[in-house]
Structures are given as structure tokens and as C-alpha cells.
A and B are shown apart, each in its own frame.
Chain A
Amino acid sequence: GAVVSQHPSRVICKSGTSVKIECRSLDFQATTMFWYRQFPKQSLMLMATSNEGSKATYEQGVEKDKFLINHASLTLSTLTVTSAHPEDSSFYICSAFPGGPGYTFGSGTRLTVV
């Protein structure tokens, strides 16, 4: 079946540094990738939609200059959290639509900013 590989699974970084999260579609082409985050005891919330070859679209309240999205190929989308702060600590997960009835998700990235 369709697989999305997400790395890293866990990262701890210092406040003020940047962190890059990668999502790769392994056996299908993903023209669109969805990026979600989940704070403790909350639901997965869509942050942004990345589109291959064009600018990402961001949900209301998500800073595009802080969460940089690059979708340069049909199999790779990256999310960079720039100048990370403790309040950015969260669980980030990507998903793509391989063409079947459901979405395929990565396994998520736990980001801790200290």
C-alpha cells in the first residue's frame, strides 16, 4: 500500500534554532501534502497544505515565515520550524492522498524545544 516516510521521529533542539522535518511518499507521487500538528490532549489540526511546484497555503493563525514549507518534488515535502521556541514543542505529522479512498500518514515527529 501507499507509504509516507517521515523523519525524524523525535527531535530536541535549543530555543532559537531551526528544525527540518521531511516527508517522503515512497511508492506514489504526492502533488499535495498536508501538515498537521497536535498539542497535548488536543486533536490533530491542519497547519498547511503544501503543493508541488507552488506556494503552500497556510491555515489561519499559522505563521508562514515561521513554518517554512518546501515541496520541490512529487515525492518530498519538508517543514522547517524556524527560530523554534518552547511553545512550538508539539507533535507534527504529514499526510498525502495517494488516490485511494483514504489518506496516508507519516509516523509523526515529536519536537521538543528547550
Chain B
Amino acid sequence: ILNVEQSPQSLHVQEGDSTNFTCSFPSSNFYALHWYRWETAKSPEALFVMTLNGDEKKKGRISATLNTKEGYSYLYIKGSQPEDSATYLCAQRNYGGSQGNLIFGKGTKLSVKP
């Protein structure tokens, strides 16, 4: 894998459904994996930053896992709500410190229908 890839591109679910998305990334030169939630006309909101293989993070109904050996991360949303509708971005950071920059996937656009 040479780029950060996200799937699916878009997702439509009913309120109450649980859902998950995938982020695949090059496992070489890996430093950290970021997940962001981005609503239209707003700033991307940082959800998680994960660095270690096997990391699992949770924030309310949203959780994420990381596998650096095989180069993938999953984001899970339990019991989706309409306010979860947004584009979810993952990004790989290749080296540490403030000079690090992020390599983004194209995002997964989630729509939650009431």
C-alpha cells in the first residue's frame, strides 16, 4: 500500500445502527495514525491519535483500533445518531515532532437517517 486508503467512500445507515470504516496505510515509516471527524463548514475535530500496534481508543460511542504490522485501523460507531453524520478522515503521520505532517485518506462520508 503506497497511499492512505479509506473505505467505504460513503455510508448511509439508520439511527441506532452500529457501523465501522476502514483505513489502510503504508506500514513502513509509520509514526502515528490520526482520526478526524469533519462536519461541513467546520474545522476537522480530532478524535484519536494512535501510535502502538494493538492500540484501542474510545470516546463515547466511537472507538478505534490500530494494526501497524498489517497497516490498518478501524473506526467503530455504536448506535449511530443523526449528529454523527460527518466525513471521517484518517491520516498517517510519518515522523514525530512539530515538523511532522499528515497524509490523509479521502474520507468516509457517513449519513445517519433518523
Residues of A bordering B, CB below 8 Å = 4, 6, 9, 31-32, 34, 36, 41-46, 49, 95, 97, 101-108
Asked if A43 and B44 make an inter-chain contact with CB atoms under 8 angstroms apart, the answer reads: no
Other-chain residue from A42, A43, A102, A106 in contact with B46 (beta carbon distance below 8 A)? A102
Residues of A within 8 A of B99 (CB): 32, 49
* Contact residues on B (Cβ < 8 Å of other chain), bracket: 20 to 34
Interface contact tally, CB-CB below 8 A = 47
Residues of B within 8 A of A102 (CB): 34, 46, 49
Report whether over half of chain A's contact residues are helix, strand or loop; otherwise say mixed. Answer: loop
Other-chain residue from A32, A43, A45 in contact with B98 (beta carbon distance below 8 A)? A32
Residues of B bordering A, CB below 8 Å = 4, 34, 36, 41-44, 46, 49, 89, 91, 98-107
Asked if A4 and B43 make an inter-chain contact with CB atoms under 8 angstroms apart, the answer reads: yes
Asked if B102 and A103 make an inter-chain contact with CB atoms under 8 angstroms apart, the answer reads: yes
CB distance from B39 to the nearest CB of A (A): 10
